[in-house]
Structure 1
Amino acid sequence: MNGEAVIENPASGEVIWRDNVGVTCRRWNWRQGTRTRLDYASSRMWFILESLETMPEAALDEASEMLVSGLNALMPGSLIERRRIAV
């Protein structure tokens, strides 16, 4: 809390995100860690938008457009690339 290191253990079967250094967040991304958070010095960011089969593709496209629009408003002149990956 408040930027202090906190050790938590995920529940059995809980979804976590990790990299080669350790766990970066848990519970489907609702809690970010200090090491991976975005701040004023961040120059490269990666956002993942996912949907379940029941979500119309148009809704996912709309969410993507809203994210890009917001990023352009916050950081004019930034380079934004989008890719759709279907699995």
Structure 2
Amino acid sequence: MGRVVKGIKDKELGKLVKNLSKNLHRERTRLGFTMQSLASMAQMATSTVFEIENGKVEDVRMSTITALARQLDMDPLDLLK
């Protein structure tokens, strides 16, 4: 997981985090996964999925994004667009 933040100052980073949050939530719910089920499949804590979806972290590891994308059957880059 990344660092928990109070506010992201870098605009480009903020945009990527917002896109990741929005796309992760959209795809997870589209597939009918709960945060807990997705986290379990991706072998991470439910709190990690919660914090990413709610924009509470920055500098999310690529391995985390890749693990989530793999379970959502999508390209990791598409989570950031």
Same fold (TM over 0.5): no
TM-score of the superposed pair, with normalisation by structure 1: 0.25
Which structure has the larger Rg? 1
Structure having the higher strand fraction is: 1
Structure having the higher helix fraction is: 2
Point out which structure has higher relative CO (alpha carbons under 8 A, 6+ apart).
Answer: 2
TM-score of the superposed pair, with normalisation by structure 2: 0.27
